[in-house]
């Protein structure tokens, strides 16, 4: 049993994922995998440095995430190039971890948190897709606050993704995270019982 969980940047995917994990779901996070595939010494990081120059590496050889983020969120060609390098290995690792967990724990719900699920056309990998939704103005407010971004930096990040309204329309199930955390937790509980999970 698996679901793909998605939403926009800062709509609350981690918040909802944590609630599902508390209930007993097994969570796989594509952002964590995205960090693993560019660990120092990895061939993928080498390719990223070839494309973007050695300036995107820290003195210790690790990825300078902030610097690369500034580049790719302001330049769509740069973003496409990065996606071309990172998405295939991210997808492969995600798929193998998901299949392994389903094989060893067939009764457990596997939740795969994939921020760019629809942008990457990955809906076919999952039995159902759950979207964590807030309207765009709340999304922008929470993003600016959490990451201490200016309005322009936040807009760049929002504009580099599919609009959250479009994701909600595509969703099999959606959770409204624009209220308080209790209201979100109630919707998660309802989802859990409707699926017949214990
Ligand atoms: C550019 C990077 C180094 C910036 O790192 P940083 O630590 O500042 O951000 P973080 O990884 O926490 O990402 C935060 C969010 O940004 C959004 N985001 C990240 N990459 C992209 C992208 N290529 N296109 C659109 N949105 C993106 C996602 O909503 C993600 O959850 C990093 O985001 C990255 O490696 N991106 C490429 C891999 C990727 O596509 N990851 C997201 C889905 S798997
Ligand atoms: N219901 C809520 N009420 C108020 N604040 C919230 C709520 N849900 C989440 N937040 C806050 O909004 C911000 C974004 O939430 P969260 O980190 O869960 O989003 P995300 O979708 O996982 O983000 P990302 O796309 O960057 O991984 C965080 O600062 C979080 O504390």
d(CA 149, CA 67): 14
Res. 198: pLDDT tops 80: no
- Which atom, in ligand 2's list, is nearest to the CA of 9? 25
SS3 69: helix
Output the six-digit token pair for 29: 């996070």
Res. 47: pLDDT tops 80: yes
Res. 197: pLDDT tops 90: no
Give the residue, by CA position, lying nearest to ligand 2 atom 4: 180
Res. 21: pLDDT tops 80: yes
Give the residue, by CA position, lying nearest to ligand 2 atom 25: 9
pTM for the full predicted model? 0.93
Which residue numbers belong to the known binding site for ATP? 10-15
- What is the CATH superfamily name and number for domain 2-194? P-loop containing nucleotide triphosphate hydrolases (3.40.50.300)
Average pLDDT of 33-50? 97
Q: What digits encode the pLDDT tens for the residues 89-106? A: 999 999 999 999 999 999
pLDDT band at 59 (very low <50, low <70, confident <90, very high): very high
DSSP E strand stretches across the chain: 2-7, 26-29, 110-113, 128-133, 173-176
Average pLDDT of 41-46? 96
pLDDT at 167: 98
Average pLDDT of 62-79? 95
The answer, yes or no, to whether any atom of ligand 1 lies below 6 A from the CB of 75, is: no
CA-based nearest residue to 14, from 183, 160, 132, 97: 132
Output the six-digit token pair for 43: 């061939």
Structural contact between residues 12 and 146, judged by C-beta atoms closer than 8 angstroms? no
* ipTM (interface predicted TM): 0.91
Distance 147 CA to ligand 1 centre (A): 13
pLDDT at 196: 85
Output the six-digit token pair for 152: 């322009």
pLDDT at 12: 98
Sorted by where each begins, the domain ranges of the chain are 2-194
The answer, yes or no, to whether any atom of ligand 1 lies below 6 A from the CB of 69, is: yes
Please list the residues that pair with 5 across neighbouring strands: 113, 130
DSSP 8-class letter at 4: E
Ligand closest to the CA atom of residue 79: 1
pLDDT at 24: 95
């Amino acid at each position: 049993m698996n679901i793909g969980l998605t939403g926009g940047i800062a709509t609350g995917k981690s918040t909802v994922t944590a609630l599902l994990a508390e209930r007993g779901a097994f969570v796989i996070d594509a952002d964590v995998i995205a960090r693993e595939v560019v660990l120092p010494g990895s061939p993928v990081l080498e390719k990223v440095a070839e494309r973007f120059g050695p300036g995107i590496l820290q003195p210790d050889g690790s990825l300078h995430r902030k610097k690369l983020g500034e580049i790719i969120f302001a330049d769509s060609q740069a973003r496409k190039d990065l996606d071309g390098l990172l998405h295939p290995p991210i997808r492969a690792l995600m798929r193998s971890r998901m299949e392994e967990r389903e094989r060893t724990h067939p009764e457990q719900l596997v939740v795969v948190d994939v921020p760019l699920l629809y942008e990457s056309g990955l809906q076919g990998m999952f039995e159902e897709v759950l979207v964590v939704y807030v309207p765009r103005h709340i999304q922008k407010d929470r993003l600016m606050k959490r990451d201490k971004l200016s309005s322009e930096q936040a807009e760049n990040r929002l504009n580099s993704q599919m609009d959250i309204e479009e994701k909600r329309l595509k969703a099999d199930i959606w959770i409204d995270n624009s209220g308080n955390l209790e209201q979100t937790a109630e919707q998660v509980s309802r989802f859990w019982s409707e699926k017949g999970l214990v």
